[in-house]
Copies of this chain bind each other. A is one copy, B any other.
Amino acid sequence: MLPDRYQQGLKTLRDIDPNSPERVTEMFKDIAPDLSRYIIEFPYGDIYSRPGLDLKTREMLTVTALTVLGNAQPQLKRHINNALNVGCSRQQIVEIMIQMAVYAGFPAAVNGMLAAKEVFAELDALESKASAL
């Protein structure tokens, strides 16, 4: 029987992005399944599932953190997607990047904005493909 934190983490992950649980599980299936399990249990089962802040605010904080860290571009793109999924607007993402010029410097802000630009373009491409059907 899997513990409640794991089930809670799966549920919160699915609320953010229905494909996330499978992606997280697949990533380290062969070499480190425990890391996938911890990701589901601790960040999603324990933290994102807390009351106190809604998912939209939590994803905006995470986009901020990853823009400041500046060395985790794939995760930044993923969380920009997540933020949009849970109600953040594109303009709000853009505002985060602009504000981070003040705290982490212009290169961090520029690289964050370039990640946002890529995510927005991928979403537009998906949508135009869908509407072409």
Contacts and interface: CB of A to CB of B under 8 A. Distances in A.
Copies of this chain in its oligomeric complex: 6
Instruction: State the main secondary structure of chain A at its contact with B.
Output: helix
A7 interface: no
Interface in A37-83: 38-39, 42-43, 46-48, 50, 52-53, 57-58, 60-62, 64-66, 68-72, 74-75
Shortest Cβ-Cβ A-B pairs, 6 listed: A72-B107, A70-B71, A65-B103, A52-B95, A43-B102, A75-B107
Interface of A: 27-28, 30-32, 34-35, 38-39, 42-43, 46-48, 50, 52-53, 57-58, 60-62, 64-66, 68-72, 74-75, 90-92, 94-111, 113-114, 116-117, 120
